[in-house]
A and B are shown apart, each in its own frame.
Chain A
């Protein structure tokens, strides 16, 4: 349910960035979501679509990059993928580990068309 609030913040941050630079229509927003971020990409996509109707972001795509859940082992030092949320080093079996990747919830970049020439020229 909290995806709507996150989509709202995503749109606010996007507007702030878009305001600063001349740009053409927005193609996509790049978002990185870890497997254990607690955010459902489909819900986020749905909220984004609803909240952008009638705005300059309408029709823009949410490009989601999923990041696997990985831990760094405190015993053998290896980085391994966590399967089924069992936090045990799959190389040596140790339970001493820290999360290396998979908790990301990051707005990476906005991909737009080039600005129409007259706008680009005016801003130089």
Chain B
């Protein structure tokens, strides 16, 4: 019998590229947020509402991840923002290598903020670091309030939980309180915003959260005081 020692992380290849992406973005002071949810939770609709608020203050670039097609990218292009479409060709998530080229494009263009819309999926995207600063996840009220218990990794990774489609609450048995409690069991202290892309509720709060995170990154990135 013969034992060959390996000791390698099985996401080491992804994590190495994610670290490159993160370093490229940091060098240009660009804040990046990875937007994730189940299919149909309203990622693109939320971005259609939130990005104009951010674009009033920052130069925003978008990477749009989809398995096939460019329907979502076309929706966001109407906002007159640079959008890079990535088709994963069947893969159920974006990984760091897939976005690497697009990140390269973004850091060589005018941008302060990079928004990455991941493929709709609550499982796989949670496992793949893209090099972002924060993960923003949406849970729509039509999905059910038990989702944090079923997909703990995603809720653990999220920096902000957006409970979307609250205009439909009366038509569902969804309990915001139970959903938030379940999410905070997995991720104590997780920040939560309730939104409706139809009524506009909470949209400004999501933009304000992102702005706060940008400010925090800039604060950290500022050169140390001399003295």
Interface residues of A (CB under 8 A from B): 1-2, 5-6, 9-10, 13-14, 17-18, 21, 23-24, 27, 30-31, 36-39, 84-88, 95-97, 105-115
Mask of B1-45 contacts with A, CB within 8 angstroms, 1/0: 111111111110100000000000000000000000000000000
Beta-carbon contact of A106 and B10 below 8 Å = yes
A112 to B1, CA, bound (A): 6
In the complex, A9→B11 CA distance in Å?
8
Contacting residue for B6 out of A6, A24, A108, A115, CB 8 A:
A108
Contact of A109 among B5, B156, B187 (CB under 8 A): B5
In whole angstroms, how far apart are the Cα atoms of A39 and B14 in the complex?
15
Residue of B nearest to A120 (CB): B2
Q: Would you call B126 an interface residue if the criterion is a C-beta within 8 Å of the partner chain's C-beta atoms?
A: yes
Report the bound CA distance from A17 to B7 in whole Å. 11
Query: Size range of the interface on B?
Result: 20 to 34
List residues of chain A with CB within 8 A of the CB of B186: 85-87
- Extra A-B contacts (18), CB below 8 Å, given A107-B6, A109-B4, A111-B4: A1-B123, A1-B124, A2-B123, A6-B11, A13-B8, A18-B4, A36-B153, A38-B123, A86-B185, A87-B188, A107-B10, A108-B6, A110-B3, A110-B6, A111-B2, A112-B1, A114-B2, A115-B2
On whether the beta carbons of A23 and B2 are closer than 8 Å, the reply is yes
By a CB distance below 8 angstroms, the chain A residues around B11 are 6, 105
The verdict on A110 contacting B92 (CB below 8 Å), with A2-B128, A6-B11 known, is no
Q: Is B198 in contact with chain A by the CB < 8 A criterion?
A: no
The residue on B at minimum CB distance from A37 is B127
**28 A-B pairs (CB sep. < 8 Å):** A1-B91, A2-B91, A2-B124, A2-B127, A6-B11, A9-B13, A17-B4, A21-B4, A23-B2, A24-B2, A27-B1, A36-B152, A36-B153, A37-B127, A38-B127, A84-B185, A87-B156, A95-B189, A105-B9, A105-B11, A106-B10, A107-B8, A107-B10, A110-B3, A110-B4, A110-B6, A112-B3, A115-B2
Footprint of A on B, CB under 8 Å? Answer: 1-11, 13, 91-93, 95, 123-124, 126-128, 149, 152-153, 156, 185-189
Chain B residue nearest to A104 in the complex (CB): B9
Chain B contacts of A5 at CB under 8 A? 91, 95
Asked if residues B2 and A112 are in contact (CB atoms below 8 Å), the reply is yes
Instruction: Give the distance to chain B from A49, nearest Cβ to Cβ, in Å.
Output: 17
User: Would B6 and A17 count as touching, CB distance under 8 A?
Assistant: yes
How far is B86's CA from A6's CA once the two chains are assembled, in angstroms? Answer: 21
Q: A96 to chain B: which residues have CB within 8 Å?
A: 188
Nearest A residue to B153, CB-CB:
A38
Whether B188 and A88, one on each chain, are in contact in the complex, defined by CB atoms closer than 8 angstroms, is yes
Q: Which of A5, A31, A107 is packed against the most chain B CB atoms within 10 Å?
A: A5
Residue of B nearest to A105 (CB): B10
**Chain A residue nearest in CB terms to B95:** A5
Nearest-neighbor residue (CB-CB) of A39 within chain B = B127
CB–CB B10/A10 < 8 A: yes
- Chain A neighbourhood of B10, CB < 8 A: 6, 9-10, 13, 31, 39, 105-107
Bound Cα distance A96, B13 (Å): 31
Q: How far is the CA of A113 from the CA of B3 in the complex (A)?
A: 9
